[in-house]
Amino acid sequence: MMLGNPHDVAGFGLLCSMLAQELKIGVGILTVSISHAHVYENHYDQADQILTRMPHLHPAVRCKLPENSFQRALAGDANLVDEISSMFLEQYSPMKALERMKINA
C-alpha cells in the first residue's frame, strides 16, 4: 500500500486520461477498490505519520496532456515523458519527507 498504491493510481489515472484524449471523450472518475491494503509492520511508523497529516490540503494537480499523447506513447516518444513530468512537477508541492524507519540492531 505504502509503495505501490500511489504509483498505480497515478499510472492508471494517466492511462485513463490518455485514452480519453485519444477517444475524444471526457475523463471520468477513477475509482480504486482495495480489498487488502498490505500495510506491513515495517511501514507502521510511516503510515502513522501520514495519518497525522490529515486532512491533506493540497491544491489540485491538473492533467493537461500534450496533443496526441496516446499515439506518441505507442511510438515510444521519449520527449512525451519529459513533457508530462514537467507538467506535474510544476504543480506538485510535496509535504516534508516521512521519517525513515528506525532499525533495531
Q: What angle do CA 3, 27, 66 make, to 5 degrees?
A: 80
DSSP per-residue codes, 42-74: GGHHHHHHHHHT-S--PPPPP--PPTTHHHHHH
Full-prediction pTM beyond 0.85?
no
Residue 105 pLDDT class (50, 70, 90 cuts):
low
pLDDT tens-digit map of 75-96 = 999 999 999 999 999 998 888 8
Q: Where are the domains of the chain?
A: 4-23+37-91
pLDDT tens-digit map of 16-62 = 999 999 999 999 898 988 888 888 888 888 888 888 887 877 888 88
